[in-house]
Amino acid sequence: MKIKCPGCKKNINLREGTYPKEKKFSFLCPGCGTKIKINPQDKPAEETNASDQQRHLYGKDLKKHILKNNNSLPPIPDILLRAKKTIENPGHSAKELAKIISLDQAIAARVLKLANSAYFNFNPPIPTIEEACLLLGEKNLMSIIMVAQMTKMLDKSLKGYNIATGNLFYHSIASAVAAELIANEKMPLFDLDAFSSGLLHDCGKLILNDYVNQRKQEFIHLITVDKMTCYRAEIKMFGFSHAEIGFDLLESWHLPEIQTHAIGFHHNPGESGMNELSYILNAADYLAKKSGFSAADYCIESNHVLEAEVKDFLNIEDFEIEEFTKKIRNNVLEMTKDFTFS
Ligand SMILES: [Fe+2]
Ligand SMILES: [Fe+2]
């Protein structure tokens, strides 16, 4: 049986006789550790990819069709879920957390590398995961686990959007750093939610990529000839955007509502019902691009201006934009120095 891991997209070949044919079963992806559930009643993975797209579907119907296709929606990474649950338990210990992180050697190595990056500036360096769990504090630790885990998901090249390997990752990190900086300076109440929602704000592109790729000429035309942003081009083609389908994905991950809502409106915060975090994400997205971390080379979004409405809402002055930009660039470079994609 051929399976595509919904987490890392690795193709896995299950040998006959090694799995039950008529019962539901699950196993861990050897590539990323994602728990893959198999129901023999479902269509085989290779038959349910985006090539099945019904061209006549649009808007709600198309979104429903995409959401029904389990392979498009990666499940919440296991380590992230377990770490989150452990941190939420007030009686947790650093040892418990270290054990969870150490389950995946690649993640553990990344967590340690990030903990010792110039961004956190620990001297002497942190030698073990357990000490990282003790010293970093829960907020930083959760951010680091998210970055370490999300690398696998965000480092992919997305052909539909012309995003080269690593660029979505850097754009996401820069947006996370930017969101945290803006929250710290302007709205400290959102300090805890800013980093993770910044990191995940464009995750809907992972889901829509195959569908954009199938209609790439039309997409490029809308962007280059009709001068639409990626966001507007998606709405024109599908009736919804990566922000909205990202909302659906993260809702299924049970991310805090304030974060999912903000991500759903990160391109149109004015329609969010005054969701402050969606304004922060909109400005963070702009500042990430202005700092040199734009994901796609042909998207007009890379030149867009910070809307006056967002500037006013967050009380951002022109001189602060330059200061933010410098800080974001430095922080991202410090955090990702020597970072390699596997
Ligand atoms: Fe976006
Ligand atoms: Fe973005």
List, for residues 149-159, the tens digit of each pLDDT value: 888 788 888 99
Read off the pLDDT of residues 11-23 as tens digits, 9 standing for 90 and up: 777 777 777 777 7
pLDDT band at 28 (very low <50, low <70, confident <90, very high): confident
CA of 290 to the centre of ligand 2 (A): 11
CA of 286 to the centre of ligand 2 (A): 8
The answer on pLDDT for 141 being more than 80 is: yes
Work out whether strand 2-4 and strand 25-28 pair parallel, antiparallel, or are unpaired: unpaired
Averaged pLDDT score across all residues of the chain:
85
| Contacts made by residues 180-188, CB under 8 angstroms, sequence distance 24+ | 181/324, 181/327, 181/328, 181/331, 182/280, 182/283, 182/284, 182/287, 182/314, 182/316, 182/324, 183/280, 185/320, 186/280, 186/314, 186/315, 186/316, 187/276, 187/280, 187/314
CA distance 340 to 342: 6
Q: With contact defined as beta carbons under 8 Å apart, do 223 and 237 qualify?
A: no
pLDDT band at 50 (very low <50, low <70, confident <90, very high): very low
CA of 200 to the centre of ligand 1 (A): 10
The answer on pLDDT for 339 being more than 80 is: no
* % pLDDT > 90, the chain: 43
Residue that wins the pLDDT comparison between 51 and 92: 92
CA of 273 to the centre of ligand 2 (A): 21
Which of 78-82, 144-148, 234-238 ranks highest by mean pLDDT? 234-238
For residue 242, which ligand has an atom nearest its CA? Answer: 1
* % pLDDT > 70, the chain: 87
pLDDT band at 119 (very low <50, low <70, confident <90, very high): confident
CA distance 224 to 82: 44
CA of 132 to the centre of ligand 2 (A): 30
Q: What integer pLDDT is reported at residue 47 of this predicted model?
A: 39
Query: In the chain, what are the domains?
Result: 156-331 (1.10.3210.10)
| Number of Cβ within a 10 Å radius of residue 186 | 18
Q: What integer pLDDT is reported at residue 33 of this predicted model?
A: 66
Q: What is the DSSP letter of 26?
A: E
